[in-house]
Structure 1
């Protein structure tokens, strides 16, 4: 009877004591090797049509999407993390003080990404900001993270840029951890001013860059 391979991969190999049957021997080898190789498909839709029940660790290359994905914990996840970026379109209204407020999605789009197998991603916020209402008035540009499976992170002191009165141009990086692989994460840009209005506060050139980490 066929025996398993010596590397514990569950691939059936025809043995010398088996009755000669070349088609069955080749078929058993192919059935064992192909699902464990990097399979190629024209698109994600073609892959779904070909693989009804993916197995943990299956790896494929999607030609139209131009990326490699692995099946992990019930989801197809990019093997090489794909950076995403969202640029600020318009400024905040600055109509409240002392409160951290989400930018509208039209003023600053919210980048989304799929958490990689590591469950980690680096988020960088960059902007030019100022609040000239008084010599001590502050302005913040920051972000928070929310996930499709319940993940949440918010900490102004770790994710935010800040300026006091005069203009500051800066960036800040922070690594998110503990995300569930395959979870869809949304980064929500935020603003905060201590005093003043839109006539004294401004943020422009804002960029949010997300780099999923392997």
Structure 2
């Protein structure tokens, strides 16, 4: 009767088993196969090959160069990495509602795409050098959307925005927690810019957004 190793449950033959070396080697190889680090071109290739993953399986994806593991319900990065985007092209806005682009700037919008971790939580940080044309508020926030249908998960808000209230340039930032994300789903975080008054122009430079997955 075939016996099994105590830790990983790998099969090995006993003296009383049928003398069939190819069969015994095949059983051992198939048992080990799912316990090694699997390698695939991308997530689609992994999902096509591993149709019934088991909790603890590990797979390397050549694109985007990421080590993933199966939690029991979804594939997740072994070590979720932050996403950071930066734009040093200056621009302005007089919009009184959050806008994703600035007048006179190139490279907008800054769309930071990320996969929600198993916790469903990320920390978003936005920052910029900012100043206003008058003594009035200028803001920089971020909108969080689900990429698949472009639905808004969390809209820009003054409560979560970096804020400046003067005509002197200042380096400001804001950091906030996003919760309730669906684990394994792709989202985007996009900076937004707006002014408290249409008569006030807000200037921005050296803008950035960063998304840190919460373990």
TM-score by length of 2: 0.77
SS of residue matched to 1:36: coil
5 Å-filtered alignment, 1:2-41, equals 2-3=2-3, 5-7=5-7, 11-41=10-40
Q: Distance in 1 between matches of 2:184 and 2:18?
A: 45
Unaligned runs of 5+ in 2: none
Equivalent pairs, count: 206
Report how far residue 13 of structure 1 moved: 4.2
Report how far residue 30 of structure 1 moved: 1.7
CA contact (8 A) 1:92 1:103 kept: no
Render the CA deviation track for 1:78-136: whole Å, top value 9, x for unaligned.
Answer: 22213222224452431x33x3x231395332111112233222211111112232x3x
1:44 partnered with 2:52: no
TM-score by length of 1: 0.78
1:53 partnered with 2:55: no
Task: Provide the alpha-carbon RMSD of the alignment.
Answer: 3.1
Runs of 4+ in 1 over 3 A off after TM superposition: 1-7, 9-17, 45-50, 62-66, 71-77, 148-151
CA contact (8 A) 1:141 1:189 kept: yes
5 Å-filtered alignment, 1:160-171, equals 160-166=161-167, 167-171=169-173
Q: Distance in 2 between matches of 1:46 and 1:127?
A: 37
5 Å-filtered alignment, 1:40-189, equals 40-41=39-40, 43-44=41-42, 47-48=45-46, 51-57=49-55, 58-63=57-62, 65-71=64-70, 76-88=75-87, 89-94=89-94, 96-97=95-96, 99=97, 101-104=98-101, 106-133=107-134, 135=135, 137-148=136-147, 152-154=153-155, 156-166=157-167, 167-189=169-191
